[in-house]
Structure 1
Amino acid sequence: MGDRMQPEPMDEETSGGEPSGPVPLAVIAREWGRIGVIGFGGPPAHITLLRELCVRRRRWLSADDFEDGIAATNLLPGPASTQLAIFTAWRLRGVPGALVGGVCFIVPGLLLILALAALFLAGDPPRWVSGAAAGAGAAVAAVAVHAAWGLAPDSRRRASGRPARLRWYGYLLAGGLATVLLGPWLVVVLIAAGLLEVLITRIRRAARIRDGHRRGAAGAPGRGGRDWRLWSLLAAVPVATAAAGLSALTWVAYKVGALSYGGGFVIIPLMHNDAVDRYGWMTDAEFLNAVALGQVTPGPVVQTVAVVGFAAGGAAGGLLAALVAFGPSFLLVILGGRSFDRLRSLPAVQAFFHGAGPAVIGAIGGSAVSLALSLEHAWQYGVLAAAVGWLLALRRGVVSALLGAAALGVLAALLGLPPG
């Protein structure tokens, strides 16, 4: 297939498959870079654009292969749509394709968000800029509620049976309370919820075996040994970075890239306490601006971490934060891509995410409380109420909600209201 445009897709999308020859790296750079430029709207938009490219237009992958890629990357910690972009490029050209595709997908939005960070975090920005930032920031708590609300139904459906549903609600509540009350210890609660579900699953499986039932999908002991080396590798990353003498920013960015489960929006509770309270890199208002910028710029939402890095250490800090946050995604795909099918089949992995998943949703919802309490001006609560109605009652999009909130902030600034 090479770099030639392919014919329009037939009705049967599953007829696609591996390309007949190596896809040129220049083609991967161009196509993945294009998605990085026009990919407004977060993971749903990225998935749609990647599917249109790889399945429908170029027919590099079958629809089934693409859906398997979505399922595999959703099992991994970190930004799922970024991992899908890296994974699809890896399927076409191996490690070079993964590196070129991932970088070209990430860099356009990264450069834009760093430029906007310089504008919004300037010591004395124009009044209309401050108003736009305060308006968009006021809507972020509504976006958090919207994200949690959208994730909850599918997650709850995976909890079959009354005991599983009760545990699901327990994990959900634990994640929400941890976000509000525990701050930097949230990660411990998320991991504990996953491990608790693994323990319960193993106890129930052992009881079934004792009762004479077959193991079924559990397989032979030790089947997933090679797959778990990936998790050992991730655990070694913070040790290596600490040995290199890197700053606290490295750990904050690492948590975003390697310990966040459930999509890009979980970065809010993971970063808020560190960036605002623990290290004082940003004010509450500036953090809200950072989240809003991550939502309205193209590319991965996780690029919000670059704004935090910019606040901590200028442009170099922003680039360092992005490098650390996205590094685990490249490692997971490049080193573990061939093991994804086995990884997905491991009962322990599935159980972990059945516990960590609802805890993450609770954490995202709980973050709305602290975000709303950090608003400084009365008019911002009016913008927040309007955003809640726009997202939850009218069911409109996140980008339009944030842009509309920014416009209201500009209006408030022009009317002489305090812009933040």
Structure 2
Amino acid sequence: MALPSFREMIGTFGRIGLISFGGPAGQIALMHEEIVEKRKWVDEEQYLRALNLCHLLPGPEAQQLATWIGWRLHGLRGGLVAGLLFVLPGALVIMGLSILYAYAANFGLFAALFLGIKAAVLAIVAQALIRIGKRALNSRFKTVLALASFIALFFLNLPFPLVVLGSGALGMAVATYRPQWLRLKPPIERPAPAPRGALFRGSLYTILGWLLIWAAPMLLILATLGPGHVLWTIGAFFSQLAVVTFGGAYAVLAYMAQEAVQSHHWLTAGEMADGLGMAETTPGPLIMVTQFVGFLAAFRAPNPFSPLTAGIIGAVLTTWVTFAPCFLWIFALAPWMERLEHARKLQGGLAALTAAVVGVIANLTIWFALHVLFGLVRESAWGPLRLYSPDWSTLDWRAALLGVGAAILLFRFRIGIMPLLCVAALAGLALSAV
């Protein structure tokens, strides 16, 4: 199998970065078509093996898969270029849209367009819940685990990292004593992997180097602005998020949205849905919505900078701390890929994480629906339970009508995400005139 030139690889991943719409499923399929089927730079077995590794890691699996392909073709520089080209087009578009949003969010035309987009996002997230649920919940234990994770997040308000990491730990234990509960596939027999000593030394140097790269902007902010500045809070929050984003972007959006809205008060629930709509309409990973959140958070607390300068710094910082760990995971662990395939406990942890993600997305779906459809949602406690009580007099009939219409187009007529968002935006504009 002939490897491509470095220039040829750059051109291919530049094109992939510009047209990688449709979320992780569409992006993984696009790379499979371009890299495996058309160009045959990576064979089917290698591609699936790398995809399994990326599912084990926190962060956007499609971007990590692009990084691994680049690393496989041209080493460190190939991984850097492929990973960056997968992210940069969407990041630049989100940056421009965030600036426009910050200055034009109060304009009637802009608000009307996003009324429809938010309603369409509800249908999109519901579709993601159904698709992932059908694929992930193939045993009774996994179904119970998904239900438990939903209850833990929605009703008990337990910390998201605790639910995710606890599910992984439970899956590792179940894989040891009751593997049939997880329906794990038997490992594929392969030639003996490389010696551990050489792999360990290489991974250690890689981890240390990328930890320094990851921490560099945070150290600069600490030295110049101090730990009380909003930029430090943004960097610390999204650095933590980068470590626990198992299960793809939809899985972590509930935690990020609720923390950004309810704990940090960086934006409203409606604005969070607007940001998700932006990310759905742009190429690259859906987790790029974090850049929108980082921009608004810094834009609204800019001192000592101007609002625009602070917003741009906040967006760049958010993107840096979100994606630098992705390169760390791939460059440190890709050489261990063949050994990881035989790690039964890790496979069990991944299976349990995937099941728990269904409950996480269910939490996100209901939380978004309440805040998009109702102008006022009260939160109360009943013993250890947290309850949401929407004020029915604040129901937005336009958002409800648009949401039902978007669901019909998506589930009945199977319209694509981009056409759906365009139709919903235009419908929101028309209804806002009523």
Contact 2:214 2:321 in 1 (8 A): no
For 1:190, which of 157, 160, 164 is the aligned residue? 164
**What is the root-mean-square deviation of aligned Cα atoms in Å?**
3.1
Name the structure 1 match of 2:262: 277
Name the structure 1 match of 2:423: 404
Structure 2 unaligned spans of 5+: 180-185, 189-194, 299-310, 376-395
Q: Deviations for 1:274-296, whole angstroms, at most 9, x for unmatched residues?
A: 11111111111110001111111
Contact 1:254 1:325 in 2 (8 A): yes
Give the letter for the 1:383 counterpart.
Answer: L
Q: 1:219-298, aligned counterparts within 5 Å?
A: 244=222, 245=227, 247-298=232-283
| Separation in structure 1 between the aligned mates of residue 56 and residue 115 of structure 2, nearest angstrom | 35
| Separation in structure 1 between the aligned mates of residue 235 and residue 344 of structure 2, nearest angstrom | 32
| Separation in structure 2 between the aligned mates of residue 48 and residue 203 of structure 1, nearest angstrom | 35
Mark the CA change 1:177 to 1:394 in structure 2 (over 3 Å): closer, same or farther: farther
| Separation in structure 2 between the aligned mates of residue 108 and residue 67 of structure 1, nearest angstrom | 26
Name the structure 1 match of 2:192: none
Name the structure 1 match of 2:50: 69
Give the letter for the 1:269 counterpart.
Answer: A
Contact 2:238 2:322 in 1 (8 A): yes
Task: Please state if 1:336 is matched with 2:355.
Answer: no
1:124 CA drift (Å)? 5.0
Name the structure 2 match of 1:381: 400
1:58 CA drift (Å)? 2.3
Contact 2:61 2:248 in 1 (8 A): yes
| Separation in structure 2 between the aligned mates of residue 199 and residue 131 of structure 1, nearest angstrom | 50
1:251 CA drift (Å)? 3.4
1:115 CA drift (Å)? 0.6
For 2:10, which of 29, 53, 69 is the aligned residue? 29
Contact 1:238 1:251 in 2 (8 A): no
For 2:323, which of 320, 323, 326 is the aligned residue? 326
- TM-score, scaled relative to structure 2: 0.79
Mark the CA change 1:183 to 1:271 in structure 2 (over 3 Å): closer, same or farther: farther
Give the letter for the 1:198 counterpart.
Answer: M
Q: Deviations for 1:193-243, whole angstroms, at most 9, x for unmatched residues?
A: 1111212333458xxxxxxxxx999xxxxx99978x88x969x89996877
- Describe the SS at the equivalent of 1:122: helix
1:343 CA drift (Å)? 1.5
1:352 CA drift (Å)? 0.7
| Separation in structure 2 between the aligned mates of residue 273 and residue 294 of structure 1, nearest angstrom | 18
| Separation in structure 2 between the aligned mates of residue 93 and residue 249 of structure 1, nearest angstrom | 34
Contact 2:35 2:41 in 1 (8 A): yes
Mark the CA change 1:53 to 1:204 in structure 2 (over 3 Å): closer, same or farther: closer
| Separation in structure 1 between the aligned mates of residue 187 and residue 64 of structure 2, nearest angstrom | 30
Mark the CA change 1:124 to 1:84 in structure 2 (over 3 Å): closer, same or farther: closer
Contact 2:58 2:245 in 1 (8 A): yes
| Separation in structure 2 between the aligned mates of residue 216 and residue 56 of structure 1, nearest angstrom | 25
Runs of 4+ in 1 over 6 A off after TM superposition: 223-227, 236-239
Task: Please state if 1:86 is matched with 2:67.
Answer: yes
Mark the CA change 1:237 to 1:179 in structure 2 (over 3 Å): closer, same or farther: farther
| Separation in structure 2 between the aligned mates of residue 239 and residue 62 of structure 1, nearest angstrom | 32
| Separation in structure 2 between the aligned mates of residue 338 and residue 58 of structure 1, nearest angstrom | 23
| Separation in structure 2 between the aligned mates of residue 307 and residue 170 of structure 1, nearest angstrom | 35
Structure 1 unaligned spans of 5+: 1-16, 160-164, 206-214, 218-222
Q: Deviations for 1:39-66, whole angstroms, at most 9, x for unmatched residues?
A: 1212233223222222233221122222
| Separation in structure 2 between the aligned mates of residue 387 and residue 146 of structure 1, nearest angstrom | 11
Mark the CA change 1:327 to 1:184 in structure 2 (over 3 Å): closer, same or farther: farther
For 1:315, which of 294, 312, 317 is the aligned residue? 312
Mark the CA change 1:403 to 1:187 in structure 2 (over 3 Å): closer, same or farther: farther
1:141 CA drift (Å)? 2.3
Q: Deviations for 1:40-95, whole angstroms, at most 9, x for unmatched residues?
A: 21223322322222223322112222222222212222101111111111110010
| Separation in structure 1 between the aligned mates of residue 287 and residue 146 of structure 2, nearest angstrom | 22
Contact 1:194 1:353 in 2 (8 A): yes
Q: Deviations for 1:140-172, whole angstroms, at most 9, x for unmatched residues?
A: 222221101101122123x4xxxxx2x212211
Aligned residues: 376
- TM-score, scaled relative to structure 1: 0.81
Contact 1:391 1:397 in 2 (8 A): yes
Task: Please state if 1:51 is matched with 2:32.
Answer: yes
Contact 1:179 1:269 in 2 (8 A): no
Mark the CA change 1:126 to 1:204 in structure 2 (over 3 Å): closer, same or farther: closer
Contact 1:138 1:383 in 2 (8 A): yes
Contact 2:249 2:286 in 1 (8 A): yes
- Describe the SS at the equivalent of 2:292: helix
- Describe the SS at the equivalent of 2:103: coil
1:182 CA drift (Å)? 5.0
| Separation in structure 1 between the aligned mates of residue 292 and residue 117 of structure 2, nearest angstrom | 15
